[in-house]
Chain A
Amino acid sequence: MKHIKLILFICLSLCLTQAIVAQTATDPPAETAPAVQPPAPPGNVILKDLPNDEGHGILVRWDLSPDDGAGRNTVISYDIYRALSPSAPDSLWMNVGTVVLGTKRYSDKSVEKDAPDFLPKKTDLYYRVVAVGAGVRSTPASAGPVQAYDNWFNSMKMPELIFCIVFLILTVRFINMAKRGIDLYVRPLAGIEAIDEAIGRATEMGKPILYVLGIGTAGDIATIASFTVLGRVARKVAEYQTSMIVPCCDPVVMTIAQEIVKTGYADAGRPDTFKEDSVYYVTSQQFPYVAAVNGTILREKPATNIYLGYFAAESLLLAETGVLAGSIQIAGTDQVSQLPFFVVACDYTLLGEELYAASAYLGREPLLLGTLKAQDYLKAIVLVLMVALLALRVITGADVISKPFDAPWW
C-alpha cells in the first residue's frame, strides 16, 4: 500500500512536471521571446505634383508592402513623412498623414501659410512612406526631390469648359441668324403675355404696379434675370403712364433697380415722369421686408403684383396678401421649393428657366432670342444623349453609363 502511494505520488509529480513543461513551451516568458518582425517596407514610391491645385500639394503613390494583406499580414497603416532634405535627421521628418492598410496613394496638401505642415511651392521636397504594424515599423521607403507647382487649368472642370464653348458658339450663331432677319419662333408663354395685359389693367384701374425683386442680392442670377424683366416692364409702365412701386431688400439691388427703371422711362420718352422714390430700400432682412411689402399691398391695392427673382419662405406671405388685395399676380423664381406656393397663390407663374427667358419674350430683340434658341439646342443635346445611351443599352446589353461627367474620362 505504501509503495502504491509512492508510485502514485511519483506518477502525479511526473504528470504535473510534464504539464508545466508543456505550458512553458507553448507560452514562453516575455523576456525571452523573440521581437515581432517589422513589416516589409512599401515599394516604388512615386511623387508627383498634385494636379488641378494652387501649388501646395504633392501626390504620393507607392506599391503596397508585401506584408499588407499577404505575407505575414502585419501592416495596419502607412505613415507618410515629408522633409526638405533627404539627409534630414529623423526629428525633421514631419508626419503629414496616415492612411489605412491597402491604400496606395496620399494627397499631401496644406495651403495655409501659418499651418505647421504648410507645403511650400517650388521647393525641393522629400518623402518617406513607412508601413506600420502593431508596435513595429518598416524601414522607410524614400523618394524625392519633387516640387509643387501652380496649375493653370483644372482638368476636372473640362465638362464646364466644353459646355461654355458650345453655348457660346450656338449663341453667336443664332444671334447672327436673328440679325440677318431669320424669324426665330418662340412659343407663347401665358405668364409673359399676362404682363402686358396686367399693365393695361393697372392703367384702366388707375392703380399702381408692384414689382418685387425678391430677397436676393445683386449677386444672385435670379435677381439679375429679374432686372432684365424690370427694364421692359418699366418701359411699358411709362408708355401707359401708370405708376410703379419697387420696394427693395438690398441697397445694391435698389441702386441698380433705380437706374433700370429710370432707363425704362427714358426709353419710353417720358424721363420726366420717373420718380426716384418709387424704387426704394426697405431693409435687408427677410421678414421686416415682407411686413413692409405686405402693408404696401394692402394700402396701395396694386392692380398687379409681379414677383420675380430669388424667394424663400416669404413667397406665400406675399402672394396670399396679394390675393387678399385682389391684385392680378405674376410670379417667377428659380427656387424649386417656393414654386408650389406661387403656383397655388398666383394667377401666373414662371417656372425656373421661364424666368430667364422672360426678358427675351418681352424684348423680342434678335440678340435675346438668339440666346433662347441656344438654350433650347443644349436641352436637345441632353435629350439626344439620354436617348442614345438608352439605345446603347438595348443594343449592347450593357446598362447605361452612370454619372458620365464625374470620372475624368477626358
Chain B
Amino acid sequence: MKRQIPLVLVFIFGVLLAIQYFIPSEPSQKGYEFVLDWITIIGIFAMVLGIWSQIHVGYYKIRHRAEDWKYSVVTMVSMFGMIFLGLSPFGGLQGTTFRLIYTNIFIPIQATIFALLAFYIASASYRAFRARSAVSTVLLVAALLLMLRVIPMGPLADPINKIGSWMLLVPNLAAKRAILIGVGLGGVATALKIVLGIERSYLGKD
C-alpha cells in the first residue's frame, strides 16, 4: 500500500501524459491543461511545506541559540513582515510599503548579487589561464581568441574577429547539437526509468 499505490500512480499518469502528446483531440488537450493546472495548485500546498521547513529550521536555530541565530531572526521577521504586507487585503502586491521594500531593498541586493558575476568571471578566467591539460589548453585558447576581440589589435583585429565569430557559429553549433542529442536521449531514458518504476527512491523505504 505504501509503495504499490504510488508506483501505480506514477505508471498511470506517466503513460497517460506520454500518450497524450500524440493525441490532438479535444479531450486529450483539455486533460493536458487540467494536469498542468493541477500541478500548479499542488505547488501551492507544497509552498506551505516550504515555509514550514523554513520556520522549522529558523525556530530550531533561535531556540537553541545556534551559531548565527540572530540572522535567523532577521529572516523570520522579514518573511512574516512581507507576508503580512503582501496578503493584507488593503494593499496586497501593489501596497505602497510592499512595493517600497521590493524596489529599495530587494532589487538593489538582487542587482548587486548579479554584479558579483563580474568579479567571479574575472577569477574564473584567471583559473582558466592556468591550463593543466591539453583539453583545458584548447578551452583557454578559444576563450582567449574571443576575449581578444574587444582589444584593439591593429592589423590582427580583423582575422581574430573572423575566427572568433566562426568559432561561435560553427563548432559551437556542432557541440550544441551533440550535447542536445545526448540530453534528449538521457532525458527520455530518465523519464522511462521513472515511469517503469526502475527508479523509485523518492517513494521511501517501507
User: What per-residue 1/0 map shows which CB atoms of A331-350 lie under 8 Å from chain B?
Assistant: 00010100111011100000
- Give the interface segment out of B89-97, B106-114, B148-156: B106-114
User: What per-residue 1/0 map shows which CB atoms of A368-408 lie under 8 Å from chain B?
Assistant: 10011011001100100000000000000000000000000
Q: Please name all residues of chain A whose beta carbon is closer than 8 Å to the beta carbon of B185 when the two chains form the complex.
A: 353, 356, 375, 378-379
- Docked Cα-Cα span, A362 to B137, in Å, equals 30
Q: Please name all residues of chain A whose beta carbon is closer than 8 Å to the beta carbon of B22 when the two chains form the complex.
A: 153-154, 157, 160-161
Contact across chains for A287 and B113 when beta carbons are under 8 A apart = yes
Interface status of B162 (Cβ within 8 A of chain A)? no
- Docked Cα-Cα span, A143 to B116, in Å, equals 67
Contact of A259 among B24, B51, B203 (CB under 8 A): B203
User: What per-residue 1/0 map shows which CB atoms of B29-59 lie under 8 Å from chain A?
Assistant: 1000000000100110011111101101100
Interface size class of B (residues with CB under 8 A): 35 or more
Q: Which partner residue on chain B sits nearest A256 by CB separation?
A: B202
Q: Please name all residues of chain B whose beta carbon is closer than 8 Å to the beta carbon of A327 when the two chains form the complex.
A: none
Contact across chains for B201 and A263 when beta carbons are under 8 A apart = yes
Contacts A260-B202, A277-B56, A313-B117 given; indicate if A356 touches B39 (C-beta within 8 A).
no
Q: Which partner residue on chain B sits nearest A163 by CB separation?
A: B188
- Docked Cα-Cα span, A323 to B56, in Å, equals 30
Q: Which partner residue on chain A sits nearest B53 by CB separation?
A: A281
Interface status of A262 (Cβ within 8 A of chain B)? yes
Q: Please name all residues of chain B whose beta carbon is closer than 8 Å to the beta carbon of A219 when the two chains form the complex.
A: 39
Shortest beta-carbon distance, B105 to chain A, in Å? Answer: 12
Contact across chains for B43 and A251 when beta carbons are under 8 A apart = yes
Contact across chains for B190 and A224 when beta carbons are under 8 A apart = yes
Contact across chains for B187 and A317 when beta carbons are under 8 A apart = no
Shortest beta-carbon distance, A266 to chain B, in Å? Answer: 4
Interface status of B139 (Cβ within 8 A of chain A)? yes
User: What per-residue 1/0 map shows which CB atoms of A132-164 lie under 8 Å from chain B?
Assistant: 000000000000000000111110010011011
- Docked Cα-Cα span, A267 to B205, in Å, equals 7
Contact across chains for B117 and A316 when beta carbons are under 8 A apart = yes
- Give the interface segment out of A38-46, A78-86, A89-97, A225-233: A225-233
Q: Knowing that A251-B49, A256-B202, A291-B109 are A-B contacts, what are 15 other residue pairs whose CB atoms are under 8 Å apart, sorted by A's residue number?
A: A164-B188, A167-B188, A221-B191, A225-B190, A251-B53, A255-B46, A266-B205, A276-B56, A317-B116, A334-B187, A353-B182, A353-B183, A356-B183, A356-B185, A379-B182
A–B Cβ pairs within 8 angstroms, 17 of them: A54-B24, A150-B27, A151-B24, A152-B24, A157-B22, A161-B22, A228-B199, A256-B202, A277-B57, A323-B123, A323-B127, A334-B179, A336-B180, A341-B124, A344-B125, A367-B198, A379-B185
Closest 6 CB pairs of A and B: A356-B186, A251-B50, A353-B182, A231-B201, A150-B25, A266-B205
**A residues at B contact (CB < 8 Å):** 52-56, 121, 150-154, 157, 160-161, 163-164, 167-168, 171, 175, 219, 221-222, 224-225, 227-228, 230-232, 248, 250-252, 254-256, 259-260, 262-264, 266-267, 271, 276-277, 280-282, 284, 287-288, 290-291, 299, 313, 316-317, 319-320, 323, 334, 336, 339-341, 343-345, 351-353, 355-357, 359, 367-368, 371-372, 374-375, 378-379, 382
